[in-house]
Amino acid sequence: MAVSYTEIAIAPEVTRFIAQPHKLLIDGEWVEAASGNVFPVYNPATGEIIAQVAEGDKEDIDRAVRAARKAFDGGPWRTMTPSKRGRYIWRVAELLEQHSEEFAQLESLDNGKPITETRAADVPLAVDLFRYMAGWASKIEGNTIPISMPGKYFAYTLREPVGVVGQIIPWNFPLLMAAWKLGPALAAGCTIILKPASLTPLSALRLGELFIEAGFPAGVVNIVTGPGQTAGAALAAHPDVDKIAITGSTEVGKQIVHAATGNLKKVSLELGGKSPNIVLKDADMEVAIRGAANAIFFNQGQVCCAGSRLYVEQAVFEQVVEGVAEHARKIRVGPGLDPETQMGPLVSDHQLRLVSGYVEAGLASGATALSGGRRYGEQGYFLEPTVLTDVKQDMQVVQEEIFGPVVVALPFKELDEILPLANDSMYGLAAGIWTKDLSKAHLLAAHLHAGTVWINCYNVFDAAMPFGGYKQSGWGREMGHEVLENYTEVKSVCIRL
C-alpha cells in the first residue's frame, strides 16, 4: 500500500547552512582541509547527496592539536575564573536553545531520525547538558586529607584539567553526543579536537558556529571532519593529545586503546551493547509492552543501550511478544521530516544491509519474524520494525549488537534463570526490568552487569545521571559528576608544617 508523506517546510536558515561550504574549525577559523578534499553527506530518507564536507586527515589533525595545545598552555581558557568559564558554556546552551528548530531539522535531515524526536529529545537534552556542565565549572573541587605520618602536615588534592582532549563521536545522536563530550571537557578547562561521524557531521559544524558566536577563545574547540581510519586514527595516536574519548563500536574502541599506547594518553570509551529487557509476569502489561517496544524501536533501534534482548516470564510470553509485534506493525515508518513519522530510515545503505543481514541470518537459523523483517519501500534506507521469536541464547542475533529496529524475544520459566541469561553477554551497558514487585526489581538490579538499570521505564537519560558500561561496553562514565573524572587529573599536595 502506498503511503503519502507530508514533510515540513525546511527553515531558510537550514537551507542556508546546508548550501554553504563546510570547512574545518581550527584555531577559531573555518579552513579547508589541507588536501583540499571533500566528501559527500547523504539524506538517509532518499539516498541523495545533501552537502559536501571538508575531508580532514592527519595534517589537519596536527594543525588542530597545535591550536588546542596553544590554547591550553598559553590561552585564557584554563586560567579564567571557573565562573566565567561556566558562563561561556551557558551561553552555548542559550544559543542552541534559540536555534532549537533549526538544529532539530538539520539533525533529522542528516541522520533520518523523526523530527518529533529531535525536537523532544536530541536538541533539548543537548541544551540541558551544556547548562548542567556550565554549573560544574565552578564546583570541581579537591579534598583536604588527614594523613597519618608522624609530624605535622597539611595535605590536600587539586583537580586539574587533563589537557588537550580528542573526542570522537558516532552518527546515532550526532548533536547530543557532541554535547555529552564537549560539555564536561570544557567545564574542566580542557581544550578539544572533536571528530564527528562522517555520516552525520552537519549539526557539529553548525554547533561550531555557535561556539564562535559565544566568543570562545580561539583553539579551545576545534572540529575536524574526516574518515575515522585516517583523521580519527591520527587523533587517537597523536603524541601531543593527553586524552582520547570515543562513543562508537567496541571494535573501534579497541583500536583506539591500541593507538593510545604511544604516549599512554588517558582513554574513555562508550561502546556497544546488547541490553536485556526483562518482563516479569506481575508487570503492568500495557506499560511493559509499550515500554519494551519503545526500548528497541526508539531512534530506529540505533541506540547503544537499546533493549534488544527481550526476556519474558513464560506465563505472559505470548501476550507480551504479540503485544510488542502489534505495536511494531502500527509504527508509522517514513522520512524524518514528516511530523507523523514514528520511525525514520536507518542511517545509511551500509547500516541497512548490515541489519538486514542479521535478520536473514536469524531466520536462516530457525527464528520467526513475528513482525517486520523486510526492507520498507524502495527509496532510502528503511527497515520494518522487527520482532524475532524462536531464537536461542547462543544464536548470533541474540549475542551480537544489531544496531537496528530488531528485537529478539526469549521466554524464561523461573526467576533464578533470568540473571545468568541476562548477564550472558560480552556487553554490559544497560538493562530493563518491568514488575510491580519492587523487592524483586531491586534484587535483580543489584545483580545485573550493567551500567544503567531502568525499572518500569527505559531510555531515560539525564545530564545528572551517569551513563556507561561494564565489560566490553566501555571504560568510564558520561554525564553526572562522574564524567569529570575523565577530564581531570588529581594532584596531591603535602606541606610539612
Smallest gap, in angstroms, from Cβ of residue 91 to ligand NDP? Answer: 27
Q: Which is nearer to ligand NDP, 61 or 321 (CB)?
A: 61
Binding mask 273-312 for ligand NDP (x = CB under 6 A): -------------------------------x--------
Q: What are the distances in angstroms from CA 368 to CA 217, 279, 330, 398?
A: 57, 20, 19, 13
Candidate list 110, 270, 313, 478; residue touching ligand NDP; CB under 6 A? 270
What whole-number distance in Å separates Cα of residue 252 and Cα of residue 319?
39
Residue 24 engages ligand NDP in binding (rule: CB under 6 A)? no
What whole-number distance in Å separates Cα of residue 311 and Cα of residue 114?
28
Residue 478 engages ligand NDP in binding (rule: CB under 6 A)? no
Smallest gap, in angstroms, from Cβ of residue 111 to ligand NDP? Answer: 11
Residue 232 engages ligand NDP in binding (rule: CB under 6 A)? yes
Residue 227 engages ligand NDP in binding (rule: CB under 6 A)? yes
Long-range contacts of 27-35 (CB under 8 A, 24+ apart): 27/63, 27/64, 27/67, 27/70, 27/71, 27/218, 27/219, 27/222, 28/67, 28/212, 28/216, 28/217, 28/218, 28/219, 29/218, 30/208, 31/63, 33/57, 33/60, 33/226, 34/59, 34/60, 34/63, 35/59
What whole-number distance in Å separates Cα of residue 6 and Cα of residue 332?
13
Binding residues for ligand NDP restricted to 182-221, rule: CB under 6 A: 195, 197-199
In the complex, residue closest to ligand NDP by CB? 228
Spell out where 12-122 has E strands: 24-26, 29-31, 38-42, 49-54
**Stretch of 51-59, 181-189, 242-250, 386-394 lying at the interface with ligand NDP (CB under 6 A):** 242-250
Candidate list 14, 168, 190, 289; residue touching ligand NDP; CB under 6 A? 168
Residue 249 engages ligand NDP in binding (rule: CB under 6 A)? yes
Catalytic residues: 270, 304
CA 118 to chain centre: 14
Residue 178 engages ligand NDP in binding (rule: CB under 6 A)? no
**Stretch of 52-60, 206-214, 269-277, 314-322 lying at the interface with ligand NDP (CB under 6 A):** 269-277
Candidate list 33, 104, 210, 252; residue touching ligand NDP; CB under 6 A? 252
Residue 318 has phi, psi (to 5 degrees) of -60, -45
Q: Which is nearer to ligand NDP, 260 or 283 (CB)?
A: 260
How does 320-345 read in b/e, with b if 16+ C-beta sit within 10 Å? bbbbbbebbeebebbbbbbeebbbbb
Name the site residues for ligand NDP (rule: CB under 6 A): 168-172, 195, 197-199, 227-229, 232-233, 236, 246-249, 252, 255-256, 270-272, 304, 401, 403
